[in-house]
């Protein structure tokens, strides 16, 4: 099992490390990494909210045939993310046992953390980027040549300023705030994160009471970024990270909003609660030293009616939902997650 290194300030506040590899894959030829089908492999953990953003975006945009995916074991060891879900413990495309091998191929002297999502150049085996903040907007904009017919515009130009502003707030006060609460090492640091988180959730509840989506009348990048925290809230953050003023299921507006997205093709069909719970409860031994994984919560409630249709909105705008996951692919995907 991995020994997770958490950085905190002298006051006990959690510090998130910046992405060390931030190259961009672009369509304009200005980057050494051009957009190309079948050249790159997206490495994810189904447990990780940052990686889940990329999985959702990839599915909504129909990039499955252009950008393949490697799924890491949710339980890390000291070498971090590993491919023990695959035969012989190696990713069948990259031929590596650990994601760290791609990091070292990019920089042999690298001795920092290994994170997902990560995009690896298949021919060279080198890590291109682990910049989770930028990756999904690039999938929405730079990879347009490979979007499926009817793909939604997840980052519409006329709404970008508004999307950028709200996702910055969501990152600071929701996505990262749950970690700040969970990894705080003083009561004061925990209290700051706790109150910041729930103040923002209250504000988001107020915003979403009268509109179906965060920005405009369609699903955008902003909704993806909020969803990946909300879907983990009751299973992990409420108990494990002590974000326990309320469960998500006790916040009527956000609970309905999250269920609406979960039941939208491309969202819930990328979620794996087993991987989520096993990762957090077994890897974070500083918080849960026994490694016991809780049985709950009841996941059937994610499929209950949400009533958000009354607010109108067009989930995919002028586009269409992604096709159902093909049965053969679905079986292989499910087997990989077991």
Residues serving a catalytic function are 48, 179
Of the candidates 15, 175, 5, the residue with the CA atom closest to the CA atom of residue 80: 5
Distance CA 216, CA 225 (A): 15
Residues whose CB falls within 8 Å of the CB of residue 63, separated by 6 or more in sequence, listed in order: 57, 139, 143, 146, 147, 148
What sign for the dihedral angle of Cα 110, 115, 121, 123?
A: positive
Largest CA distance in the chain: 56
- The token duo for 326 is 């093909």
DSSP 148-213: PTT---SS-GGGHHHHHHHHHHHIIIIITHHHHHHH--SHHHHHHHHHHHHHHHHHHHHHHTS-SS
327 φ, ψ to 5°? -55, -45
Reading the block at residue 290, the tokens are: 């026994």
Which tokens go with 145? Answer: 């040549």
Locate 4 and state its tokens: 């997770």
What span, in angstroms and rounded, lies between the C-alpha atoms of 153 and 219? Answer: 8
Count of H helices and E strands in the chain?
Answer: 10, 8
Cα–Cα distance list, 99 to 39, 44, 45, 133, 162 (Å): 17, 10, 11, 19, 35
Residues 216, 204: Cα–Cα separation, whole Å: 15
d(C-alpha 170, C-alpha 207), whole Å: 13
Question: From CA 269, how far away is CA 216, in angstroms rounded?
Answer: 24
The alpha carbon of 69 is separated from its chain's Cα centroid by a whole number of angstroms, namely 14
């Amino acid at each position: 099992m991995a020994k997770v290194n958490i950085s905190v300030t002298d006051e006990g506040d959690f510090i998130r490390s910046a992405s060390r590899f931030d190259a961009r894959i672009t369509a304009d030829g200005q980057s050494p990494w051009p957009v190309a089908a079948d050249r790159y492999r997206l490495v994810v953990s189904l447990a990780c909210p940052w990686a889940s953003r990329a999985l959702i975006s990839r599915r909504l945009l129909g990039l499955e045939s252009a950008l393949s995916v490697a799924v890491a074991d949710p339980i890390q060891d000291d070498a971090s993310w590993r491919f023990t879900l695959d035969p012989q413990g190696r990713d069948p495309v990259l031929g590596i046992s650990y994601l760290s091998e791609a990091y070292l191929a990019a920089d042999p002297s690298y001795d920092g953390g290994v994170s997902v999502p990560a995009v690896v150049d298949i021919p060279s085996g080198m890590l291109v980027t682990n910049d989770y903040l930028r990756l999904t907007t690039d999938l929405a904009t730079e990879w347009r040549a490979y979007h499926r017919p009817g793909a939604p515009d997840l980052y519409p130009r006329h709404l970008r300023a508004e999307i950028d502003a709200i996702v910055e707030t969501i990152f600071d006060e929701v996505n990262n705030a749950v970690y700040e609460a969970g990894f705080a090492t003083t009561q004061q640091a925990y209290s700051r994160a706790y109150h910041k988180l729930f103040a923002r959730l209250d504000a988001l509840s107020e915003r979403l009471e009268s509109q179906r989506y965060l920005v405009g009348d369609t699903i955008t990048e902003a909704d993806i970024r909020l969803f990946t925290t909300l879907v983990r809230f009751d299973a992990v953050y409420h108990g494990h990270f002590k974000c326990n003023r309320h469960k998500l299921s006790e916040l009527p507006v956000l609970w309905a909003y999250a269920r609406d997205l979960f039941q939208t093709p491309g969202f819930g069909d990328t979620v794996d609660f087993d991987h989520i719970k096993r990762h957090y409860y077994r890897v974070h031994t500083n918080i849960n030293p026994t490694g016991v994984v809780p049985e709950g919560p009841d996941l059937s409630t994610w499929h209950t009616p949400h009533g958000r249709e009354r607010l109108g909105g067009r989930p995919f705008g002028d586009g269409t939902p992604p096709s159902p996951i093909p049965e053969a692919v679905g079986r292989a995907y499910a087997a990989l997650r077991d």
